Amino acid sequence: MIKAGIIGSTGYAGNELVRILTGHKEVEIKWYGSRSYIDKKYYEVYQNMFQIVDDVCMDDNMEVLANEVDVIFTATPQGLCASLVNEEILSKVKIVDLSADFRIKDVATYEKWYGIEHKSPEFIEEAVYGLCEINREDVKKARLVANPGCYTTCSILTIYPLAKEGLIDMSSIIIDAKSGTSGAGRGAKVDNLFCEVNENMKAYGVATHRHTPEIEEQLGYASGENVLLNFTPHLVPMNRGILVTAYANLKEGVTYETVRAAYDKYYKEEKFVRVLDKDVCPQTKWVEGSNYVDVNFKIDPRTNRIIMMGALDNLVKGAAGQAVQNMNLMFGFKETEGLELVPMFP
Amino acid sequence: MIKAGIIGSTGYAGNELVRILTGHKEVEIKWYGSRSYIDKKYYEVYQNMFQIVDDVCMDDNMEVLANEVDVIFTATPQGLCASLVNEEILSKVKIVDLSADFRIKDVATYEKWYGIEHKSPEFIEEAVYGLCEINREDVKKARLVANPGCYTTCSILTIYPLAKEGLIDMSSIIIDAKSGTSGAGRGAKVDNLFCEVNENMKAYGVATHRHTPEIEEQLGYASGENVLLNFTPHLVPMNRGILVTAYANLKEGVTYETVRAAYDKYYKEEKFVRVLDKDVCPQTKWVEGSNYVDVNFKIDPRTNRIIMMGALDNLVKGAAGQAVQNMNLMFGFKETEGLELVPMFP
Amino acid sequence: MIKAGIIGSTGYAGNELVRILTGHKEVEIKWYGSRSYIDKKYYEVYQNMFQIVDDVCMDDNMEVLANEVDVIFTATPQGLCASLVNEEILSKVKIVDLSADFRIKDVATYEKWYGIEHKSPEFIEEAVYGLCEINREDVKKARLVANPGCYTTCSILTIYPLAKEGLIDMSSIIIDAKSGTSGAGRGAKVDNLFCEVNENMKAYGVATHRHTPEIEEQLGYASGENVLLNFTPHLVPMNRGILVTAYANLKEGVTYETVRAAYDKYYKEEKFVRVLDKDVCPQTKWVEGSNYVDVNFKIDPRTNRIIMMGALDNLVKGAAGQAVQNMNLMFGFKETEGLELVPMFP
Amino acid sequence: MIKAGIIGSTGYAGNELVRILTGHKEVEIKWYGSRSYIDKKYYEVYQNMFQIVDDVCMDDNMEVLANEVDVIFTATPQGLCASLVNEEILSKVKIVDLSADFRIKDVATYEKWYGIEHKSPEFIEEAVYGLCEINREDVKKARLVANPGCYTTCSILTIYPLAKEGLIDMSSIIIDAKSGTSGAGRGAKVDNLFCEVNENMKAYGVATHRHTPEIEEQLGYASGENVLLNFTPHLVPMNRGILVTAYANLKEGVTYETVRAAYDKYYKEEKFVRVLDKDVCPQTKWVEGSNYVDVNFKIDPRTNRIIMMGALDNLVKGAAGQAVQNMNLMFGFKETEGLELVPMFP
């Protein structure tokens, strides 16, 4: 039984971490960090946890925490983890950072897209990009894992086999992504009020969204090419779920069978990536509450484009579930421990 | 490890049974009954079960089934279970009936409210009303359990301690209930289309809803009085959840403390009934996906009425979860086995 | 053509006033007051008004405004209108106050329930309670109209004929009300975020909601009795709409026909109150976007209670539409001018 | 005052036609056609119309109807209008067909994508494609107007100025479209049940949706090229609204100013097309209930692609509103008559 601390436990991703870890046999949460609710009972912030969690919220003190737990999850805004981490801390504790601080290898790119200075660039190289299906072996050895973003996880896993196998023109990729509103966090903003989101749909961050370089970098590694692509996020009136519809030009001679074989090659043995039957389009509801990513594709022979589709629960595989999957690998637990969550429908 | 069969496995309650039993250590589902989808893969009907359930749907043959499993769940429309059950079947297998067939002890009342003839009234007396918190000992010994309805479970558990302790005027009860749309089932009806339900709210079945006599009967047992009450269900634009707001006149001298003590007396040791802190009103979202019922109350000294509130997930504690809880008791398993589901928020 | 000013034009009710007045033949909006957005284009706050309204937002200066317009609508938080109004202003301009400041005749009751001091109690007596269907003649002569609240309008109009005709026991009234989320306003609060409201339902303000004394006072006038009742509001995951389900004990001998005759007596000639056909329950969607209130009732002979139901759009008949209806009466316009809005379905 | 008949008046588009025509000064509805509800009061099918429409539903007899009205709207499934229309009818009455029967000039294309035989191909050439902003003069002279589809209207108007002005590579167009559920009609299908759509998102008809050739044909006329493109529709959990996100490669040297000038050239004088301010992304809620299409665009200099966005209300500009706009042109009424509907927010 290891001990875990969560910095930022009262955001939506933090609460999802609590939900998942509560059912995990090898972990006990010892620290519910939340700057906004220090000394308040955790269940008073999230009444779903009434009679399940009786702890009070603590400050975000990573130094103290490093002495008390084996793993720290940082589910905080960009910049916080980078500003707190140091060698002493990393020598005592493993960290799964759910923010973007260590996802992008090029500091300049990070600083440009996020508009903040990186406070500990010395750990970027060491940090492992925690997409378990792709970097499993590295994750197992990591002290510091950069847990991928929700849009990113869905986008990369949807496109990865084709990028890796060289089946698509990497300069032709367009990702049109749709997200439930929990991805926007629990901050009190007019834009996220029920009446503004309900019965409404919009694109946002068009051509400027911060997840773009993260996707480009990872697909670049997969394809061995420099990748520039379009990524357009949309806000959807639902709580959870990300749906990615991605487009690319197929290389010559690529058939349904070639593509299917590529998906199977990388995902057949993967518990959490489900390649759906032919012609079945992913739906976000089919993965809700679970750590699954459902992917599939369709070829349009008229335009010779492939339409790739992926769906996941942004708070599970897109955040907390993936973080636990990473932790499982880092500590040598069964990779699926705590994550055998059956999707809830309806 | 016992074997279970589900008759009506492709309704929403049936699918929820599959979700819950999939995580149950003592049970294996051997029969996915579904008249509408015979020979079809179960996951093709519910893609959330892709790569989790690989079985095909079977007919609703209870006689065959009785030889193959240890417990049968009937999640079917009223009348079906009563028309299939017989002594031979009951001698071989235990049954948890999620329909109304065996909930009401008076056949005439059943036939009047449901408008159908009861095909096996001989088993009504034997059948145990499966509200575990109230009839736990009887459930343990039962061959046939009548699993309570969703509205009913919420209404009864919300009011029970006050009825039992004689704190309210039993002739003054008014239950105003609100339900998510999954309670209406998966039948293709115009009234349940997205565009008819979304952005809309209505009462229905006013003064005539079939759950009324069930609530009256159970609260009658609790109070030792004949109970007539008003029950008004409403349809709410959400998938899951029942919220009950119940009103009654307090008897003289009853204070906040008296009432709180009554709730604590009956529910303090109950895992699945959470009496919330003073002044905290139950919200359906706080129990979603779990087997909890959250209850609380408020006294209005101006009118001397008490407002009792309860919330549950209609597919879990209001249907499948309760059915599994009953099964656990019937087979001597840990009562909470498979049901330690943490509510999902948001 | 008269000139109108709106103080608080960037709240949801304010925006609805703009929507309605834009289609009104006798009125021109000259002042879009909004303390939070001074000098900003109105359409930048509400893009639905792009190319329809080109004005910028102004301060909430009632003295200046009184010289420039014929009617002022105050769609602001409690206390503001009372703090701004004075005799000089009222001598120049008519005011329709959408806040609660002048709704309750007894200052002590107002101050107790709202927890603020009333800054101009001298105008309370003069102010007319602007429920047009009941106080039409007084509204016509008024300088200052207190526009009723959304819950209140729905509750009172649903119960009024029975109170007035003495058909129900006035001490037995219970009002269980359900509201869409726009009633909570456009303030940035965690409780009103999409993810907190969506897929959720709760009661709030139980036994303490401020609309209670307003309903009691008006039903008291109707019945000639002191009225105490229970009023329980609930938050529903929809943008617009209020549904009231009200319960009362019928007096002896009251039949369906008696009740129906009472409703017809008061509403048959009323354009905006629709008494539905027998057994048809009101639905909020059927009145959305319109100034209608749909009402109906059902008698339960088992308990001798009547269940009265009413539905309206909280931003129209529950706020802006009613305000315009009042203005029409005050200025001698056709009462329905600008209000012949056909409900939008779905 | 002309007389109108609606064939298919009880679908969602039919009901929206009734809503709009009810407020139209030059038209009176004389025939509420609905095969499914013959002899039933129209308001019993759509209670929003209670006390507004008192007529009963009639059969879909176009021959009889042609003698009684001046204009017929056919809001029916594909194939019906083509099977009913003939020269005699067209000599007596003007027709606005909301189905796809006369939208596509090439019969073979129609028959291939719709999978049905065209019953009156002789009228295809005569039929005018009723996108008023593009074919205004032809519509004025038409006897038979093919009212464009909802996805189509939004897609074409979003891309048209760039196609017409030759600013984009016409072989690079990808349209990712999102629709509210009313676009799926009022038929009772499991897929459109509240619980299947709510909290869910999916693509459907990928690479095969019938609106594809309609968009290709019209953009082909605009650009003077043969156009093949990708069109992917998605179902969104909201009642109304279509959002189009379209991608294309910009031709060399095309700047923000070039593109903006193109949009202004075609839409500056158009009442119902609003080109939003720079960097403002269209939202479906901002046009809800109105006949507006909001469009805008963003250039990504990194990929040299343009992201074009458009939003409309699928039942208004995407169906009934556009049909009335066409009728206004055909009869010489003011083009905006009955259509000055202010978008409703929230």
Contact B120, B82 (CB under 8 A): yes
Cis, peptide link before residue A148, omega less than 30° from 0: no
Q: In this prediction, what percent of chain A has a pLDDT beyond 70? A: 100
Q: Measure the CA–CA gap between A18 and A52, rounded to whole angstroms.
A: 10
Read off the tokens for D70: 């001046």
According to the model, what pLDDT value does residue D86 have? 97
D261: pLDDT strictly greater than 90: yes
Q: List, in order, residues 6 or more apart from A54 with CB less than 8 Å away.
A: A41, A42, A43
Q: Residue C55 CB: number of other CB atoms within 10 A?
A: 15
CA nearest neighbour of A292 among A302, A282, A306: A282
Contact C239, C180 (CB under 8 A): yes
- pLDDT averaged over chain B? 97
**Neighbors of chain D by Cβ distance (3+ pairs < 8 Å):** A, B, C
Q: List, in order, residues 6 or more apart from D163 with CB less than 8 Å away.
A: D170, D219, D222, D223, D227
Over the stretch C175-199, which tens digit does the pLDDT of each residue have?
A: 999 999 999 999 999 999 999 999 9
Assess whether D31 and D68 both reside in one domain.
Answer: yes
Assess whether A276 and A190 both reside in one domain.
Answer: yes
Contact D177, D155 (CB under 8 A): yes
Q: Measure the CA–CA gap between B240 and B312, rounded to whole angstroms.
A: 9
The tally of domains found in chain C comes to: 2
Closest CA in chain A for residue C236: A194
Residue showing tokens 């030059």: D26
| Three-state DSSP string of A148-199 | CCHHHHHHHHHHHHHHHCCCECHHHCEEEEEECHHHHCCCCCHHHEHHHHCC
Q: Residue A252 CB: number of other CB atoms within 10 A?
A: 6
C-side interface with B, Cβ within 8 Å?
Answer: 174, 176, 178, 180, 195-196, 198-204, 206-207, 228-230, 232, 234, 236-241, 243, 245, 247, 281-285, 288, 298-300, 302-303, 305, 307, 309, 311, 346
Contact B49, B42 (CB under 8 A): yes
- With H, G, I as helix, E, B as strand and everything else as coil, classify residue C184: helix
Cis, peptide link before residue A343, omega less than 30° from 0: no
Query: Which residues in chain C are contacts of D49 at CB distance < 8 A?
Result: 342-343
Q: Measure the CA–CA gap between C196 and B280, rounded to whole angstroms.
A: 15
Assess whether D116 and D11 both reside in one domain.
Answer: yes
Contact A248, A166 (CB under 8 A): no
Q: Residue B265 CB: number of other CB atoms within 10 A?
A: 12
CA nearest neighbour of D322 among D89, D140, D88, D131: D131
In a domain, A86, yes or no: yes
CA–CA–CA angle A27, A30, A31 (5° rounding): 125
A238 and D200 in contact by Cβ < 8 A? yes
In a domain, A30, yes or no: yes
Of B81, B132, B150, B154, the active-site residue reads B150
Q: Measure the CA–CA gap between C37 and D20, rounded to whole angstroms.
A: 34
Assess whether C116 and C156 both reside in one domain.
Answer: no
A19 and B342 in contact by Cβ < 8 A? yes
Assess whether B80 and B44 both reside in one domain.
Answer: yes
Q: Residue A317 CB: number of other CB atoms within 10 A?
A: 28
In a domain, D331, yes or no: no
Cis, peptide link before residue B346, omega less than 30° from 0: yes
Q: What is the mean pLDDT of residues C292-310?
A: 98
In a domain, B91, yes or no: yes
C60: pLDDT strictly greater than 90: no
CA–CA–CA angle A304, A306, A309 (5° rounding): 165
Instruction: State the DSSP H helix or E strand holding residue C100, giving kind and residue range, or none if neither.
Output: none
Assess whether B85 and B177 both reside in one domain.
Answer: no
D252: pLDDT strictly greater than 90: yes
Query: Which residues in chain C are contacts of D199 at CB distance < 8 A?
Result: 199
Task: Provide the 8-state DSSP code for D237.
Answer: S
Over the stretch D118-167, which tens digit does the pLDDT of each residue have?
A: 999 999 999 999 999 999 999 999 999 999 999 999 999 999 999 999 99
CA nearest neighbour of B232 among B216, B208, B213: B208
Closest CA in chain D for residue C314: D346
CA–CA–CA angle D291, D296, D297 (5° rounding): 155
The pair phi, psi for residue B240, each rounded to 5°, is: -125, 160
Assess whether C162 and C303 both reside in one domain.
Answer: yes
- pLDDT averaged over chain D? 97
Identify the domain boundary among A110, A126, A142. Answer: A126
Assess whether D94 and D166 both reside in one domain.
Answer: no
Q: Where are the alpha helices (DSSP H) in chain B?
A: 12-22, 42-45, 62-68, 80-84, 87-92, 107-114, 132-141, 150-164, 194-197, 211-223, 256-267, 321-330
- Percentages of chain D per state (helix, strand, coil), in multiples of 5: 40, 20, 40
Beta-bridge partner residues of A56:
A41
Contact C156, C220 (CB under 8 A): no
- With H, G, I as helix, E, B as strand and everything else as coil, classify residue D16: helix
Q: What is the mean pLDDT of residues A256-276?
A: 98
Indicate which of B179, B199, B279 best probes the interface with C, i.e. most C CBs within 10 Å of its own CB.
B199
Residue C325 binned pLDDT confidence (cut-offs 50, 70, 90): very high
Q: Residue D106 CB: number of other CB atoms within 10 A?
A: 12
Q: What is the mean pLDDT of residues B218-236?
A: 98
Q: Measure the CA–CA gap between A233 and A204, rounded to whole angstroms.
A: 6
In a domain, A340, yes or no: no
C316: pLDDT strictly greater than 90: yes
Assess whether B248 and B168 both reside in one domain.
Answer: yes
D49: pLDDT strictly greater than 90: yes
Q: Measure the CA–CA gap between A211 and C239, rounded to whole angstroms.
A: 31
Assess whether B163 and B82 both reside in one domain.
Answer: no
Contact A95, A71 (CB under 8 A): yes
Of B199, B289, B340, nearest to A199 by CB-CB distance is B199
Over the stretch A105-160, which tens digit does the pLDDT of each residue have?
A: 999 999 999 999 999 999 999 999 999 999 999 999 999 999 999 999 999 999 99
Assess whether B288 and B163 both reside in one domain.
Answer: yes
- pLDDT averaged over chain C? 97
Question: Terminus-to-terminus CA distance in chain C, angstroms?
Answer: 34
Q: List, in order, residues 6 or more apart from D333 with CB less than 8 Å away.
A: D26, D327
Exposed/middle/buried for residue D63 (C-beta within 10 Å: 0-12, 13-18, 19+): exposed
A-side interface with B, Cβ within 8 Å?
Answer: 12, 15, 19, 22-23, 46-52, 182, 198-199, 239-240, 274, 276, 280, 283, 285-290, 294, 340, 342-346
D60: pLDDT strictly greater than 90: no
In a domain, A135, yes or no: no
Over the stretch C200-218, which tens digit does the pLDDT of each residue have?
A: 999 999 999 999 999 999 9
Q: Measure the CA–CA gap between A73 and A99, rounded to whole angstroms.
A: 10
Q: What is the CATH number of the domain that holds C58?
A: 3.40.50.720
Closest CA in chain A for residue C195: A239
In a domain, D131, yes or no: no
- pLDDT averaged over chain A? 97
Q: List, in order, residues 6 or more apart from A87 with CB less than 8 Å away.
A: none
Over the stretch A154-207, which tens digit does the pLDDT of each residue have?
A: 999 999 999 999 999 999 999 999 999 999 999 999 999 999 999 999 999 999
Q: Where are the alpha helices (DSSP H) in chain C?
A: 12-22, 42-45, 62-68, 80-84, 87-92, 107-114, 132-141, 150-164, 194-197, 211-223, 256-267, 321-330
Assess whether A114 and A156 both reside in one domain.
Answer: no
According to the model, what pLDDT value does residue C46 have? 98
Q: Measure the CA–CA gap between A217 and D19, rounded to whole angstroms.
A: 52
Q: What is the CATH number of the domain that holds D305?
A: 3.30.360.10
Residue showing tokens 């119902």: D272
Closest CA in chain C for residue A199: C239
Instruction: State the DSSP H helix or E strand holding residue C231, giving kind and residue range, or none if neither.
Output: strand C230-235
In a domain, B319, yes or no: no
CA nearest neighbour of C161 among C201, C105, C219: C219
Provide the residue type at D119 as one letter.
K
Residue C295: give the domain boundaries: 151-314
Q: What is the model's pTM?
A: 0.98
Residue showing tokens 């002739």: B171
The pair phi, psi for residue C287, each rounded to 5°, is: -115, 5
Q: What is the mean pLDDT of residues C141-157?
A: 97
Residue showing tokens 């051997």: B30
Q: Where are the beta strands (DSSP E) in C34-81?
A: 57-58, 71-74
**Neighbors of chain B by Cβ distance (3+ pairs < 8 Å):** A, C, D
Q: Measure the CA–CA gap between A230 and D308, rounded to whole angstroms.
A: 13
